[in-house]
Amino acid sequence: MDNRESKKVTKKITVSGIVQGVGFRPFVYNIAKKHGIPGTVRNIGGLVEIILQSSEEKYNDFLKDLKENPPYGSKIINIETEDIKEREFRGFRIIESRDDEEISIIPPDLPVCESCERELFSEANRRFLNPFINCMSCGARYTIIEELPYDRHNTTMRDFDMCPSCREEYTSPKNRRFHAQTISCYDCGPYLIFNNLTDDNELTENDAFEEAAKIIESGGIIAVKGIGGYHFACSPFKEDTVLKLRELKGREAKPFAIMFESVDSIRQYCIVSEKEEGLLKSNARPIVLLYLKNGSMAPSACQGSIYCGAFLPYTPLQMLLIKRCGPLIMTSANISNKPIIKDDQEMLSLKSPLLNGVLYNKRRIVRSVDDSVAKVVDSTPQLVRRSRGYVPYPVFCPNDKKELQIFAAGGDLKASFCLYKNGNAVMSQYFGDLEERTVLERYKASVKDLCHLLKITPDIAVCDMHPNYYSAKFAQSLDIPLIYVQHHHAHIASVMAEHHLEGQVIGVAFDGTGYGTDGQIWGGEFLICEGAEFKRAAHLRYTPVLGGDASMRDAAKTAVCFLISSGLDQYIKDERKNIIKAALKNNINTVLTSSMGRLFDAVSSLLGIRHENRYEGECAAMLEKEAVLALRKGIEPKKIAFEINQKSDLIEIDPKPVLESLCHHRYSAGIDSLALGFHYAVADIILKVCEIIRKEQNINTIALSGGVFQNTVLMERVLKLLRDKYFNVYYNVSVPPNDGSIGLGQTFIGLER
């Protein structure tokens, strides 16, 4: 007997976090065996419950192993231990799952792990080149779970009978596929199918793969079934092909994401820092926005952007395709603004001469999830679109109101709702813009789906104040108590929620558009926020602009409106000057806006950079590009400054001197120097206003949010300025700064009320 043996303890250990669907029970089994400890382990709801009996020393060794080497893909949030009554055990066993009322943390979908990747390319392995290889720590999860607990019969893998060899692995505790619910092989399926969309002859397995690869190599476009839906795949090097893809998708100009075999391969085209490499390789395998080196990609792939959205393969099939064909454009298979296609029948019935085939399999996708998009700013990974790999992992919002369950509808653009229960705020996947009917339908269906999966029955709903928001109308239709939250307040509250901020906060919310408490369109806001309350402290001066979607797109028109309202008519070259002036004068379709996003559009047009937003934020992105080029060339920014008008307790920021200076120097100074000067002027005014507020109200904490803060040049400048003056600055990290954060902010306010 071990001479360390002492008093015997019987313990119940409850582990919460991402502990289901990642091989946690087999992991526990193995460490218990290693220490010779008898007991049991099981899933209850989303938790793992371990009961064991051992000496105190062995128990401590067990806990140490549990905490220090958790399996790939898992994340322990909390471990609770409790002494229980002594009882009889026969060895250590994994026992049947029990359903439970606890909130369940469902694992996000996981990329191919290193062990599976090795097997995928080792000839001797029985899963050599199998496009569906997976194990207990990798593969589809969230997208194939129909019910909890996470067990094979509750996933769409129940459509495939386990073959004897897989069953053997599944039931052998020493095997790394022990209790791997998604276990599969050549014998049990799923298997690859290729459909050329012209006749009924489908190719299967290797023939299917070969045919698809050949089509891609010869400049064709195919649809490939992935984890959360289909992708359109094609070469990024063939200009004709990329133009065809734009036509097929109905996407005019937005850059396409490109999948590469490895980080080394990405480095041939993009600049990759160490942090960015980490992000690319992280379990979520997001699309990472990287600075593009010049040339070599087809011009239409990235459309003059300085960024390339690059990512690494996360399914075995993607690994095989890219190894064979080289880098590929992998863009969500959807048509214009419709949702990503996930069902085989829908994909196969898309008859377009531009699409040359569909490479798929018969494993059903329960819920669609787009690829996530992220970048590194201020040496920190930041999400731009939070979806596959992150959803449904919760944001933890500790609160006393444990019993309260909340549905927060989010916003209408980049829609994503939020469900709250027991301190966990679960943000849904990204849906797109709810104005598109099919997106709205998927959004509504997903609310039902996630409420069911997470066993949430909301007591209250929270939504935006905008009278025409579809998300708000949906929240109203639920017939439960409803809280309305101002858009920019929600932006700031999302930062407070993420960073658990308490007390007063100066919120700087800069974005394109949000409905204000005065019925005007806000978007250049300084709010003083505390708990569920806020007060507007400063804003960009109201500018009358022409309303409607067409006007949002038309940056040249926006520029004219800004010049007119600043009394700078002499600089207007646009031939529509008089018509626009008359419309503004007679109040035809006119709205007042304090939007910083619109000012970025106007400046982009004034400087002759871009006059039209062919996709959301194009003008601002191209303006940022000029600023980046100036920084790279070491060009001095033109000195430009906003003016401040203090009106009783509300500060107004006047863009007139900025616009005047830009117009004045438009042909004498470099565009890059002016673009950088504008970015710095925006950063300067943020500092200046925050300093005034700090002086008056003694608030030292700042929260930055809103789509404008996706601008890296602005963000890095403003962080530096504020930190130099000893402000504590927070911004969105685990939810995007754009309207993807609204749901979380609404939830926070719902909890605080």
Q: How far is the CB of 454 from Zn ion (least distance, A)?
A: 26
Q: Which does 187 bind (CB under 5 to 8 A by kind): Zn ion, Fe ion, none?
A: Zn ion
Q: Is 699 in the site for Zn ion (CB under 5 A)?
A: no
739 binding partner (options Fe ion, Zn ion, none; Cβ < 5 to 8 Å by kind): Fe ion
In the complex, the smallest distance separating the C-beta of residue 705 from Fe ion, rounded to whole angstroms, is: 8
149 vs 514, beta carbon nearer Fe ion: 514
Tell me whether the omega of the peptide bond preceding residue 467 falls within 30 degrees of 0, making it cis.
no
Q: Is 113 in the site for Zn ion (CB under 5 A)?
A: yes
Q: Of the candidates 286, 538, 739, 744, which one interacts with Fe ion according to CB under 5 A?
A: 739
Interaction pattern, residues 620-639, with Fe ion; x per rule: CB under 5 A = --------------------
- Using DSSP bridges, classify how beta strands 92-94 and 39-44 pair: parallel, antiparallel or unpaired: parallel
- 163 touches Zn ion by CB under 5 A: yes
Non-local (6+) Cβ contacts of 337 within 8 A are 432, 433, 435, 436, 439
Determine, following the binding rule CB under 5 A, whether residue 180 of this chain makes contact with Zn ion.
no
Contact range with Zn ion by CB under 5 A, out of 11-19, 137-145, 323-331, 647-655: 137-145
Q: How far is the CB of 283 from Zn ion (least distance, A)?
A: 12
- Determine, following the binding rule CB under 5 A, whether residue 358 of this chain makes contact with Zn ion: no
Q: Given the DSSP bridges, would you call strands 230-234 and 328-332 parallel, antiparallel or unpaired?
A: antiparallel
Q: How are beta strands 39-44 and 460-464 bridged, if at all?
A: unpaired
Q: Of 198-206, 401-409, 510-518, 554-562, which part binds Fe ion (CB under 5 A)?
A: 510-518
Q: Rounded distance, CA 168 to CA 6, Å?
A: 38
Q: Which does 344 bind (CB under 5 to 8 A by kind): Zn ion, Fe ion, none?
A: none
Phi-psi region of 184 (alpha: psi -120 to 50; beta: other; left: phi over 0): beta
205 binds Zn ion (CB under 5 A): no
Give the nearest distance from C-beta 307 to Fe ion in angstroms.
21
25 part of the active site:
yes
Q: Which stretch binds Zn ion (CB under 5 A): 18-26, 124-132, 133-141, 270-278?
A: 133-141
Nearer Cβ to Fe ion, position 131 or 736?
736
Q: Which does 511 bind (CB under 5 to 8 A by kind): Fe ion, Zn ion, none?
A: Fe ion
CA–chain centroid gap for 30, Å, is 35
Assess whether the previous peptide bond of 339 is cis (omega < 30° from 0). Answer: no
- As measured in angstroms, the least distance from the Cβ of 691 to Zn ion is 53
Which of 32, 144, 166, 328 touches Zn ion (CB under 5 A)?
Answer: 166
Encoded tokens for 287: 């699309």
Please identify which of the residues 42, 43, 130, 717 carries the catalytic annotation: 43
Name the one range near Zn ion by CB under 5 A: 110-118, 444-452, 692-700, 709-717.
110-118
**Residue (511 or 616) nearer to Fe ion, CB:** 511
Phi and psi angles of residue 463, each rounded to the nearest 5 degrees, phi first: -150, 175
Bond before 70 cis per omega within 30 degrees: no
Helix locations, 188-231, DSSP H: 205-217
CA distance 209 to 223: 12
Q: Which of the choices Zn ion, Fe ion, none does residue 419 contact, using the CB cut-off of 5 to 8 A by kind?
A: none
Separation CA 346–CA 103 (nearest Å) = 33
Give, in order, the Cα–Cα distances in Å from 68 to each of 61, 64, 441.
11, 6, 44
Residue placing its CB nearer to Fe ion in the complex, 507 or 514: 514
Q: Is 116 in the site for Zn ion (CB under 5 A)?
A: yes
CB of 709 to Fe ion, least distance (A): 10
Cα(388)–Cα(139) distance, rounded to whole angstroms?
Answer: 12
CB of 111 to Zn ion, least distance (A): 9
Residue from the set 371, 464, 511, 672 that interacts with Fe ion by CB under 5 A: 511
Stretch that binds Zn ion, among 115-123, 249-257, 412-420, 539-547 (CB under 5 A): 115-123
Q: Where are the beta strands (DSSP E) in 125-198?
A: 193-195
Instruction: List strand residue ranges (DSSP E) for 19-104, in order.
Output: 39-44, 47-55, 75-83, 92-94
Which residues inside 330-359 make contact with Fe ion, applying CB under 5 A?
A: none
C-alpha span between 118 and 734 (Å, rounded): 31
The tokens for 19 are: 């502990």
Which of 47-55, 109-117, 277-285, 467-475 is the region at the interface with Zn ion (rule: CB under 5 A)?
A: 109-117
Q: Which of residues 282 and 337 has its CB atom nearest to Zn ion in the complex?
A: 282
Whether the CB-CB separation of 512 and 738 falls below 8 Å is answered with no
Q: Is 188 in the site for Zn ion (CB under 5 A)?
A: yes
Q: Please answer whether residues 679 and 711 qualify as being in contact, where contact means their C-beta atoms are separated by less than 8 angstroms.
A: yes
Helix (H) or strand (E) holding 703: strand 701-705
Q: What is the DSSP letter of 474?
A: H
Among 31, 185, 391, 658, binds Zn ion (CB under 5 A): 185
Q: What is the largest CA-CA distance in the chain?
A: 96
Among 47, 129, 135, 333, binds Zn ion (CB under 5 A): 135
Give the integer Cα–Cα distance in Å for 638 and 550.
32
Q: What are the structure tokens assigned to 750, written together?
A: 């719902």
Query: Is 43 among the catalytic positions?
Result: yes
Which of 3, 4, 25, 645 is an active site residue? 25
The C-alpha atoms of residue 455 and residue 442 are separated, in whole angstroms, by: 19
- Catalytic residue numbers, as ranges: 25, 43
Enumerate binding residues for Fe ion (CB under 5 A).
511, 514, 739
**Which residues are at the interface with Zn ion (CB under 5 A)?**
113, 116, 135, 138, 163, 166, 185, 187-188
